[in-house]
Structure 1
Amino acid sequence: MSRVWFGTALETVAVWWRIERRDGVALGFTSHDRDLIFAGLRHRTAPGMVPSAVRRTGTFEADTAEIAGALAHDAIGEADLVAGRFDGASVTMGLVDWQTLENETLFAGTIGSVGREGENFSADLESIKQALARQVVPRTSPTCRAEFCGEGCTLSAARFSHEIVIADISEDRQSVLVSGMASQPNAEFGWIRAADGPDVGMMLRVHAVESGWMVLERALSEGMAAGMRAILREGCDHTLATCSARFANAVNFQGEPFLPGNDLLTRYPSAQG
């Protein structure tokens, strides 16, 4: 039988949070005045972090929660928030008896968006019920809906991943030259994940390739320098022509390139030769 929390006048209960970032880092926090170790993780004391709203339902409607707190703990810094290290991280929240370490999960989901006001931050959390909002039947599109090397694509991620070395960084730190490969890969629409330096574990999308320079979605940190290692995943523009000519994978193309669009009736006639 599960425990009934707050059933007596005096309870040895604290709130706990567990954050698992996409780069593999797991962080634990508790509102108690000392660190608590349970479920294989040390939950560090963070009395400034409080759950301002937790809402649970027994229906298909998504549960919601919000965490507000001060940017005081070393594990959560302004630089990491700005860099997006906590975007999309999985979050669990619950109650723990700080004497017996008996604990229960009240909320599980992901971080949707992070906002900052002065020295404080707030994180909107999306519950796992958000998955129920996905479309069962996907909408038609002229481009491929599958993630490159993901479900539906069937191509091997290892085949299009390369160990590289950053050869040079542009002055604005948003473009890089890389070395360490026999030939230049098709990096446009791919991503680079740093293996050294302050950006280690961060995945940066490649927006474009200009004269060999890979233009990233955001600037690299000041500590990143030439000679550091990274992983490069090639990209795909999700068109049928690329899927067929470059990857010979047209049979798994997840799109409808020849289906007339919504503007079919408004198109102007063209002269026939």
Structure 2
Amino acid sequence: MSLYPETLAAHLGREVTTVCHCWRLTRTDGWMAGYTDHDRPLISGATVFAPQTGLAASEARDTLGLAVDTVDVEGALSSDDIGEEDIAAGLYDGAVVETFLVNWRQPEDFVLLRKATVGKITRSDGRFVAELESAAHALDRPNGRYVSRTCDAELGDARCGFAPDNPDFTGAGTVAAWEAPSTLVVSGLDGFEAGWFAHGVLSWTTGANAGRSERVEEHRKDATGTRLVLRPRSGMAAAEGDTFSAVAGCDKKFATCKAKFANALNFRGFPHLPGNDAAYGYVVDGGRFDGGPVVP
């Protein structure tokens, strides 16, 4: 059975055809836009596809079996819908791209060729190249759990079971100044000890980044003020006066889970698992060989 509608299949059987490609882009936040390599706007399937956006597709191959299919969509940043800042901020990461073959003389005749997600995006010389990954790409990712001494849950999720909305584990602050590309001086967190928000999550509540979250690498505190070091990223920088909320961080260690969060019973790691050091170790004076746990 052909995936092409009967009318479109009949059209493709002619010596001269009037078909073009259309792309419908749907971001994870629900924003949607349509683009086409035709020279006029098209309305197909209740979507308006804009022309002359600078988009072009590379060769696409569909393979049998479980091989991963990929195709590149390349284009200049000529569409008002696609901004350099949005790409840098990761708004298009994981977006869904549907590729259609459309008869531009009869736009109601179309077929969905493939559905993919946006993988790696590279930018150079004023243009972008987005790699589209097929559904089979998920089969190429590691699945299941790794046996390790550290926890593999995220603080506050169902597996962790800890509720971080307690005032002792959340704070709100304001950016006082930028000290380095990823270091900001903040106010409002003076009541928390140094390192409390390290490995935590910072969510912007106002400013150009409102609604976005970032990972905190370090939380420093000294006589000159409180500083948060964010995970390096490219995108829109926050401005002085922007506000945020922060959730305490967890370094995934059993000792931290037990002492900081009193959540040892829900620890999702294997802290007492002997490692290679135990397997290749040997008895020496001063060693402890009482059968006790590796991590107290």
- Do these two structures clear the TM 0.5 threshold for a shared fold by scoring above it? yes
After superposition, the Cα gap between the structure-2 partners of 1:163 and 1:119, relative to the gap in structure 1 and judged at 3 Å, is same
1:214 aligns with 2:228: yes
**What SS class does the counterpart of residue 87 from structure 2 fall into?**
helix
Distance 1:40 1:84 in 2: 27
Q: Which residue of 2 aligns with 1:78?
A: 84
Distance 2:97 2:277 in 1: 43
After superposition, the Cα gap between the structure-2 partners of 1:179 and 1:171, relative to the gap in structure 1 and judged at 3 Å, is closer
Greater Cα offset, 170-179 or 122-131: 170-179
Q: Which residue of 2 aligns with 1:169?
A: 177
Distance 1:218 1:197 in 2: 19
Distance 2:49 2:143 in 1: 38
Distance 1:179 1:105 in 2: 52
Distance 1:155 1:13 in 2: 55
Q: Which residue of 2 aligns with 1:52?
A: 58
After superposition, the Cα gap between the structure-2 partners of 1:263 and 1:88, relative to the gap in structure 1 and judged at 3 Å, is farther
Confirm or deny: 8 A CA contact 2:85 2:235 kept in the other structure.
no
- Deviation of residue 215 (structure 1)? 0.7
Distance 2:201 2:49 in 1: 33
Supply the AA of the counterpart residue of 2:32. Answer: A
RMSD (Å), alpha carbons: 3.4
| Number of equivalent positions | 273
- Deviation of residue 177 (structure 1)? 4.2
Distance 1:44 1:19 in 2: 12
Confirm or deny: 8 A CA contact 2:164 2:170 kept in the other structure.
no
Greater Cα offset, 54-63 or 150-159: 150-159
Supply the AA of the counterpart residue of 2:272. Answer: F
Alignment partner for residue 33 of structure 1, among 32, 39, 58? 39
Identity across matched positions, percent:
34
In structure 2, runs of 5+ residues without a counterpart are 288-296
Supply the AA of the counterpart residue of 2:177. Answer: I
1:193 aligns with 2:199: no
The structure with the largest alpha-carbon Rg is: 2
- Deviation of residue 238 (structure 1)? 1.2
Confirm or deny: 8 A CA contact 2:27 2:92 kept in the other structure.
yes
Distance 1:229 1:40 in 2: 39
Q: Which residue of 2 aligns with 1:236?
A: 250
Alignment partner for residue 135 of structure 2, among 124, 128, 139? 128
In structure 1, runs of 5+ residues without a counterpart are none
TM-score (norm 1): 0.80
